[in-house]
C-alpha cells in the first residue's frame, strides 16, 4: 500500500511541475502586463504585479490607431466567420444530400487542398491582389481567410450532416414543409455542434493570422492587431510593458473562449479519437 501512495505522490508532483512549466509563459504575460511601469525593466524581476497597475494597458490602447487596428481585426474576423459558414453549409448540403456527377472529385479535392502549405500561396495572392488594386482592402483579406477556412469547414460540417438520417427531412417534406423550412427547422439545429466547431476554427484562423495580413496590408491604417503587435518594436527601443499588455489584450478573448468551451472541446476530441 505504501508503494501505491508514493507512486501517487510522485505522479502528482510531476503533474504539478508540468502545470507550472506550461503555465509560466501565460503567467509571465499577465504578471508583466499588470506591473507598474517602473517595475518592468528591472534586472531582478518581480514575481507579483503589486501594486496592480493599468499603465501598460493604457500605453497599449493609447498608441495611435489602436482603435482602427481593433476594428479591422473584428471586421475581418466577423465577416470571415459568417461568410465561410454560410458557404460551407450550402456546400456540405450539396455533398451529403445529393448524388451527382463529380461529387467524389469535389470531396477528394477538398481533402487534398488541405495539404497545400498556405505560405506558398502568398506570392501569387500578393501579386494578383496587387494587379487587381485590392491590396490594403479588407475585402481581399476576408476573401483569403474564407478560402483558407472553407475546406476544413465543409469537411467538418459534412461529417455532422452525414450522421443525420435523410428520412427525417423527407418526412417533414411529406408533411408539406418547404426545403427552406427543412433546412432551418431540422438540419441547422441538429448540426449546431458542427457549426460551433467550424466557427471556432474560422475565428482563430482570421483573428490569429499574421503573415497574410502582414503582406497584403501595407497601409498602416489597414493593419490588424497581430500586424500591429509585430511592428511594435521601434527604432527608439521596445516598450515591453505596452507590448506585453497588447499581447494580453489580443490573447484574452481567445483564451477565455477556450476555457468556456473547454469541456465541449475535449469531448469533441474524444469523439474524433473514436472515429479515427
Partner 1 sequence: MSMVHAKHRTVPSVPPDSSAPRKVRRGRRPSALPYALLVPALLVLALVVGYPLVRLGVISTQGYGLRALFTGRPESVGAANYQELWLNPALVSTLVRTLVFAGSLAAGTLLIGLAVAHLMAAVGPRMRTAVTLSLISAWAMPNVASTLVWQWLFQPTYGVVNWLLTAVGIGDYQQHSWFSDPNEAFAVIWLLVVWQAVPFVALTLYAGISQIPREYYEAAACDGANALQRLRVITFPCLRPILLLVGILSVIWDFNVFNQIWLLTGGGPGDATTTIGIWSFQRAFAAQDYGQGAAIAIASVLLLMTMTGYYVRRLIRAGEAL
Site for partner 1, residues 130 to 149, rule: CB under 8 A: 130-131, 143-144, 146-149
Q: In terms of CB distance, is 54 or 123 closer to partner 1?
A: 123
Which of 70, 94, 134, 172 lies at the binding interface for partner 1 (CB under 8 A)?
94
Among candidates 90, 268, 97, which has minimal Cα distance to 196?
A: 268
Q: How far is CA 257 from CA 54, 81, 161, 187, in A?
A: 23, 15, 25, 26
Which of 98, 174, 176, 189 lies at the binding interface for partner 1 (CB under 8 A)?
98
- Which stretch, 48-56, 58-66, 74-82, 154-162, contacts partner 1 (CB under 8 A)? 154-162
# chain residues binding partner 1, by CB under 8 A: 116
Q: In terms of CB distance, is 67 or 163 closer to partner 1?
A: 163
Give the nearest distance from C-beta 261 to partner 1 in angstroms.
9
Torsion of CA 213, 216, 220, 222, to 10 degrees: -70
Q: In terms of CB distance, is 94 or 186 closer to partner 1?
A: 94
Residues 158-197 that bind partner 1 (CB under 8 A): 159, 162-163, 165-166, 197
Q: How far apart are CA 218 and CA 227, in angstroms?
A: 10
Give the nearest distance from C-beta 51 to partner 1 in angstroms.
20
- Residues 155 and 111: beta-carbon distance below 8 Å: yes
CA angle (211 as vertex; 210, 214 as ends), nearest 5: 85
Residues 26-85 that bind partner 1 (CB under 8 A): 26, 28-29, 32, 40-45
The set of cell numbers assigned to 231 is 511592428
Does position 6 interact with partner 1 (CB under 8 A)? The reply is: no
Q: How far apart are CA 269 and CA 249, in angstroms?
A: 28
Q: How far apart are CA 84 and CA 156, in angstroms?
A: 12
Q: In terms of CB distance, is 122 or 177 closer to partner 1?
A: 122
| H-state helical runs in 34-65 | 55-61
Q: In terms of CB distance, is 54 or 259 closer to partner 1?
A: 259
Amino acid at each position: 500500500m505504501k508503494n501505491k501512495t508514493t507512486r501517487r505522490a510522485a505522479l502528482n508532483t510531476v503533474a504539478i511541475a508540468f502545470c507550472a512549466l506550461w503555465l509560466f509563459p501565460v503567467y509571465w504575460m499577465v504578471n508583466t502586463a499588470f506591473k507598474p511601469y517602473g517595475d518592468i525593466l528591472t534586472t531582478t524581476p518581480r514575481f507579483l504585479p503589486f501594486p496592480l497597475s493599468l499603465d501598460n494597458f493604457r500605453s497599449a490602447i493609447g498608441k495611435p490607431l489602436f482603435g482602427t487596428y481593433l476594428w479591422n481585426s473584428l471586421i475581418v474576423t466577423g465577416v470571415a466567420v459568417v461568410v465561410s459558414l454560410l458557404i460551407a453549409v450550402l456546400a456540405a448540403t450539396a455533398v451529403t444530400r445529393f448524388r451527382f456527377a463529380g461529387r467524389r472529385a469535389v470531396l477528394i479535392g477538398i481533402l487534398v487542398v488541405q495539404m497545400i502549405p498556405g505560405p506558398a500561396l502568398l506570392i501569387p495572392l500578393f501579386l494578383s491582389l496587387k494587379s487587381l488594386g485590392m491590396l490594403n482592402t479588407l475585402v481581399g483579406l476576408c476573401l483569403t481567410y474564407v478560402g483558407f477556412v472553407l475546406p476544413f469547414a465543409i469537411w467538418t460540417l459534412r461529417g455532422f450532416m452525414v450522421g443525420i438520417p435523410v428520412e427525417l427531412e423527407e418526412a417533414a417534406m411529406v408533411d408539406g414543409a418547404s426545403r427552406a423550412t427543412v433546412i432551418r427547422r431540422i438540419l441547422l439545429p441538429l448540426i449546431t455542434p458542427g457549426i460551433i466547431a467550424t466557427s471556432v476554427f474560422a475565428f482563430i484562423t482570421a483573428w490569429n493570422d499574421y503573415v497574410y495580413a502582414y503582406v497584403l496590408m501595407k497601409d498602416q491604417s489597414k493593419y490588424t492587431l497581430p500586424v500591429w503587435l509585430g511592428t511594435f518594436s521601434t527604432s527608439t527601443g521596445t516598450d515591453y510593458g505596452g507590448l506585453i499588455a497588447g499581447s494580453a489584450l489580443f490573447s484574452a478573448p481567445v483564451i477565455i473562449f477556450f476555457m468556456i468551451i473547454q469541456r465541449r472541446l475535449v469531448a469533441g476530441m474524444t469523439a474524433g479519437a473514436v472515429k479515427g
